[in-house]
């Protein structure tokens, strides 16, 4: 994705949990980040920017709000592109489990830390199990109503498997004057229209098949990163203009 951004003159926003202080060893992170840092520098040399919106696994980056090397670190990004206003944030602040049960959430995070030492596939298994446990808690809290029953009262579109708190969070952020809201955090990718007319995107997770949004002059493309790298730039028209601007 970084190579794609460099080749096609995109700025980049890493929407939280891009590095995992909670679950990875410093050694593993250094190994992964070192090649990326050289690419970040190339993005910046081309006159583009790198934004990093803080997530719950890299919350320590809040100490560096403003800049880390070439990165602009921020709790969220309010982007204006063409006529559109787009809100980008990780989304964990809308996570009911994270807010209501911080110690339980921390415990699950630590279980994740141990499971990733065993194997990434085991981590995936634990993550899915985690999802099921949260669904179980919701089931108990709702007074033993199955999800299908609970979802009957939900009107409009929703991202498959996603808890209501995120759609509500996107709605809440969106009505403050945005055309689109982009979250991550849930590991469930999708794009839906909210009742307020705001478009909500979730770019899923970096595991398996990562998704992203590409934004150019108020237009938003949403899809798998692999589509960008194999099918090319969804906004190729911007290239000659910017190439000229870059001289
Ligand atoms: Mn997260």
pLDDT tens column, 181-234: 999 999 999 999 999 999 999 999 887 789 999 999 999 999 999 999 999 999
Give the distance (Å) from ligand 1 centre to CA of residue 52. 13
| 3-state DSSP assignment of residue 73 | strand
**Residues 92, 98: Cα–Cα separation, whole Å:** 7
CA of 186 to the centre of ligand 1 (A): 7
Whole-angstrom distance, CA of residue 7 vs CA of residue 163: 37
Position with higher pLDDT, 67 vs 82: 82
Instruction: Give the Å distance between the CA of 203 and the centre of ligand 1.
Output: 12
| Ligand 1 mean position, distance from CA 88 (Å) | 14
Q: What is the pLDDT of residues 79-113, one digit of tens each?
A: 999 999 999 999 999 998 888 888 888 888 888 87
Q: Is the CATH number of domain 2-246 3.30.410?
A: no
Going from the Cα of 74 to the center of ligand 1, the distance in angstroms, rounded, reads 15
Report the 10 Å Cβ neighbour count for 108.
Answer: 18
Query: Residue 62: which pLDDT band, with cuts at 50, 70 and 90?
Result: confident
Task: Name the band, by pLDDT with cuts 50, 70 and 90, for residue 33.
Answer: confident
Task: Give the Å distance between the CA of 242 and the centre of ligand 1.
Answer: 34
**What residue ranges do the domains of the chain occupy?**
2-246
């Amino acid at each position: 994705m970084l190579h794609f951004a460099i080749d096609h003159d995109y700025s980049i926003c890493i929407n939280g949990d891009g590095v995992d202080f909670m679950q990875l060893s410093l050694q593993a992170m250094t190994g992964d980040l070192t090649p990326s840092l050289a690419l970040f520098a190339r993005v910046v040399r081309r006159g583009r920017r790198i934004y990093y919106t803080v997530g719950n696994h890299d919350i320590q980056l809040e100490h560096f709000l403003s800049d880390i090397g070439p990165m602009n670190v921020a709790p969220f990004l309010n982007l204006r592109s063409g006529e559109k206003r787009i809100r980008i944030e990780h989304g964990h602040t809308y996570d009911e489990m994270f807010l209501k049960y911080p110690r339980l959430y921390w415990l699950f995070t630590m279980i994740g830390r141990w499971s990733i030492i065993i194997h990434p596939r085991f981590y995936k298994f634990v993550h899915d199990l985690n999802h099921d446990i949260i669904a179980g808690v919701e089931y108990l809290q709702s007074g033993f109503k199955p999800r299908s029953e609970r979802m009957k009262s939900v009107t409009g579109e929703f991202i498959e498997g996603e808890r209501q708190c995120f759609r509500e969070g996107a709605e809440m952020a969106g009505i403050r004057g945005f055309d689109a809201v982009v979250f991550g955090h849930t590991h469930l990718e999708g794009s839906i229209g909210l009742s307020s007319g705001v478009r909500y995107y979730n770019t899923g997770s970096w595991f398996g098949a990562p998704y992203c949004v590409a934004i150019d002059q108020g237009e938003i493309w949403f899809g798998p990163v692999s589509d960008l790298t194999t099918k090319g730039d969804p906004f190729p028209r911007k290239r000659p203009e910017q190439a000229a601007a870059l001289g």
